[in-house]
């Protein structure tokens, strides 16, 4: 289960964006009308920017999410009242499922097999809605207008609300237990924003502002995703070497760092395979992410990790690194074979040192920590040595 702190931090940005637009709408009477006149242009411009950046960074799920929203917006603006009413009905029921599908499915190349399958899915989805709008079926509409709740959610139909609750439940489960927390929290807020835009359809400018908020959340998510790809390790979710170099430039006059390495990792890979080795790296990285003492862990490469301690000397950081070593050493790791499950224990070695006046940069400190790590390896492993 994801930690409440991690959920809160990831939910904060999309919640802030949605709340900001809600505040703007609440104070609409104090805002010049001319600003609301440009909301549509802002929505189209931001949506096209999302499509371009998504294409450039090969983040195609955002393209599949934003294009149907643009079409819904255009339909509300240019369809006749009868056709717009039908579009409202079908969009309120199908688009939540659409969001859930593109949250759950992994990112693929646009013209790969799965990418083409997604294109076909979206085209069929759009074609079906257009067909039902231009060739309405009274029997289908009667079924979709079924009454399920005692409460009135006008202009939303009860079935739309039931679908929304179901999809929100799935997204909430992904927020609590899913690996890609940044996506799950953002899509959770996207769905709430979408339904808010539909529910307040009769409120002047509400739908337009809600759709602009929707596009803004997607754009910010795209920027956050690009940052994650650049600075975080995909396998372990720890900050990578580039993030470490950036943070090293911000260190003060006093700091310490630890170079850490998983003992006998190559032998482990040769014995159990690289897939199991990757699982070990994830388990160890999860422990490193919770290091105490204000330390920040990075995956340096392979089975090597670095921990930076701002404003800490060697003795202080040594205690925290050694506590981490002990915690890892007593944590069992299950290796599954064809016939049985074997429990093994993983050990790490580490070298810790702090900066001095003679050090020109943090890489000189890292070199000394690496030398201390080498001594820990030679001394028998599963220990921490001060540099």
State the average pLDDT over residues 216-231.
90
pLDDT band with cut points at 50, 70 and 90 for residue 95:
very high
pLDDT for the residue numbered 351: 93
pLDDT tens, position by position, 229-267: 889 888 888 999 999 999 988 888 889 999 999 998 888
Mean pLDDT of the chain: 90
pLDDT band with cut points at 50, 70 and 90 for residue 200:
very high
Boundary (domain end) residue, out of 231, 262, 287: 231
pTM for this model (two decimals): 0.81
CATH code, 266:
3.30.70.270
Catalytic residue among 138, 303, 316, 327: 303
Mark whether 147 and 269 lie in a shared domain. Answer: no
Q: Domain for residue 236, yes or no? A: no
Q: Domain for residue 63, yes or no? A: yes
SS3 readout for the chain: CCCHHHHHHHHHHHHHHHHHHHHHHHCHHHCCHHHHHCHHHHHHHHHHHHHHHHHHCCCHHHHHHHHHHHHHHHHHHHCCHHHHHHHHHHHHHHHHHHHHHHHHCCCCCCCCHHHHHHHHHHHHHHHHHHHHHHCCCHHHHHHHCCCCCCCCCCCCCHHHHHHHHHHHHHHHHHHHHCCCHHHHHHHHHHHHHHHHHHHCCCCCCHHHHHHHHHHHHHHHHHHHHHHHHHHECCCCCCECHHHHHHHHCCCCCCEEEEEEEECCHHHHHHHHCHHHHHHHHHHHHHHHHCCCCCCEEEEEECCEEEEEEECCCHHHHHHHHHHHHHHHHCCEEEEECCCCEEEEECCEEEEEEECCCCCCCHHHHHHHHHHHHHHHHHCCCCCEEEC
Most confident stretch, 58-62, 70-74, 298-302? 70-74
Q: Domain for residue 88, yes or no? A: yes
- Asked if residue 18 has pLDDT above 90, the reply is yes
- Asked if residue 272 has pLDDT above 90, the reply is no
Domain enclosing residue 308, as ranges: 241-386
304 is catalytic: no
| Nearest-angstrom CA–CA distance, 147 and 117 | 35
Q: Domain for residue 143, yes or no? A: yes
pLDDT tens, position by position, 118-167: 899 999 999 999 999 999 988 888 889 888 888 889 999 999 999 999 99
Q: What is the number of structural domains in the chain?
A: 2
pLDDT for the residue numbered 253: 85
Mark whether 153 and 261 lie in a shared domain. Answer: no
Mark whether 159 and 205 lie in a shared domain. Answer: yes
pLDDT for the residue numbered 261: 93
Taking each helix axis from N to C end, the angle separating 274-289 and 314-329, rounded to the nearest 10 degrees, works out to 140
| Nearest-angstrom CA–CA distance, 133 and 92 | 14
Mark whether 174 and 34 lie in a shared domain. Answer: yes
pLDDT for the residue numbered 44: 96
Q: Which of the pair, 238 or 111, is modelled with greater confidence? A: 238
Q: For residue 374, count CB atoms less than 10 angstroms from its CB and return exposed for 0-12, middle for 13-18, buried for 19 or more.
A: middle
Mark whether 173 and 253 lie in a shared domain. Answer: no
Mark whether 182 and 44 lie in a shared domain. Answer: yes
Mark whether 169 and 22 lie in a shared domain. Answer: yes
Mark whether 220 and 246 lie in a shared domain. Answer: no
Distance set, CA 387 to CA 325, 370, 384 (Å): 17, 9, 10
- Asked if residue 58 has pLDDT above 90, the reply is no
State the average pLDDT over residues 171-183.
89
pLDDT for the residue numbered 105: 84
Percent of the chain with pLDDT over 90: 55
Mark whether 132 and 272 lie in a shared domain. Answer: no
Mark whether 202 and 326 lie in a shared domain. Answer: no
| Nearest-angstrom CA–CA distance, 51 and 57 | 10
Boundary (domain end) residue, out of 182, 202, 231: 231
Boundary (domain end) residue, out of 231, 266, 297: 231
- Asked if residue 65 has pLDDT above 80, the reply is yes
Is there a cis peptide before residue 366, judged by omega within 30 degrees of 0?
no
Mark whether 254 and 223 lie in a shared domain. Answer: no
State the average pLDDT over residues 279-286.
90
pLDDT tens, position by position, 319-349: 999 999 999 999 888 877 667 777 888 999 9
In sequence order, the 6+-apart residues with CB closer than 8 A to the CB of 211 are: 43, 69, 73, 197
pLDDT for the residue numbered 338: 66
pLDDT for the residue numbered 116: 87
| Nearest-angstrom CA–CA distance, 55 and 336 | 40
Q: Give the alpha-carbon dihedral of 248, 250, 254, 258, to 10 degrees.
A: -20
Q: Domain for residue 156, yes or no? A: yes
Mark whether 87 and 26 lie in a shared domain. Answer: yes
Q: Domain for residue 51, yes or no? A: yes
């Amino acid at each position: 289960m994801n930690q409440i702190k991690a959920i809160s931090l990831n939910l904060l940005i999309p919640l802030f964006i949605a709340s900001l637009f809600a505040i703007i709408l609440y104070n609409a009477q104090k805002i010049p009308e001319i600003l609301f006149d440009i909301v549509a242009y802002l929505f189209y411009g931001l949506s096209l920017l999302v499509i371009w950046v998504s294409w450039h960074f090969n983040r195609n799920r955002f393209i599949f999410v934003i294009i149907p929203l643009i079409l819904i917006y255009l339909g509300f603006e240019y369809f006749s009242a009868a056709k717009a009413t039908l579009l409202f009905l079908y969009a309120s029921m199908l688009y939540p499922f659409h969001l859930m599908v593109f949250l759950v499915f992994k990112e693929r190349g646009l013209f790969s097999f799965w990418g083409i399958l997604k294109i076909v899915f979206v085209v069929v989805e759009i074609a079906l809605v257009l067909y039902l709008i231009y060739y309405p079926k009274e029997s289908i509409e009667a079924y979709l207008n079924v009454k399920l709740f005692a409460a009135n959610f006008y202009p939303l139909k009860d079935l739309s609300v039931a679908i929304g609750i179901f999809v929100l439940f799935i997204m909430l489960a992904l927020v609590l237990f899913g690996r890609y927390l940044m996506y799950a929290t953002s899509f959770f807020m996207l769905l709430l924003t979408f339904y808010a835009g539909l529910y307040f359809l009769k409120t002047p400018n509400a739908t337009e502002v809600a759709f602009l908020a929707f596009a803004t959340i997607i754009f910010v998510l795209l920027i956050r995703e690009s940052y994650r790809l650049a600075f975080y390790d995909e396998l372990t979710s720890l900050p990578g070497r580039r993030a470490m170099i950036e943070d090293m430039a911000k260190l003060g006059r006093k700091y310490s760092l630890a170079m850490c390495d998983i003992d006998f990792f190559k032998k482990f890979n040769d014995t159990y395979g690289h897939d199991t080795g990757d699982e070990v790296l994830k388990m160890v990285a999860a422990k490193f992410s919770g290091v105490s003492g204000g330390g920040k862990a990075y995956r340096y490469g392979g089975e090597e990790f670095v921990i930076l301690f701002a404003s800490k000397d060697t003795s202080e950081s040594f205690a925290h690194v050694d506590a981490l070593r002990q915690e890892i050493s007593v944590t069992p790791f299950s290796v599954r074979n064809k016939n049985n499950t074997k429990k093994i224990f993983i050990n790490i070695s580490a070298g810790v040192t702090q900066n001095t006046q003679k050090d020109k940069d943090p890489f000189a400190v890292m070199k000394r920590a690496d030398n201390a790590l080498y001594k820990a390896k030679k001394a028998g492993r599963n220990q921490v040595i001060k540099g």
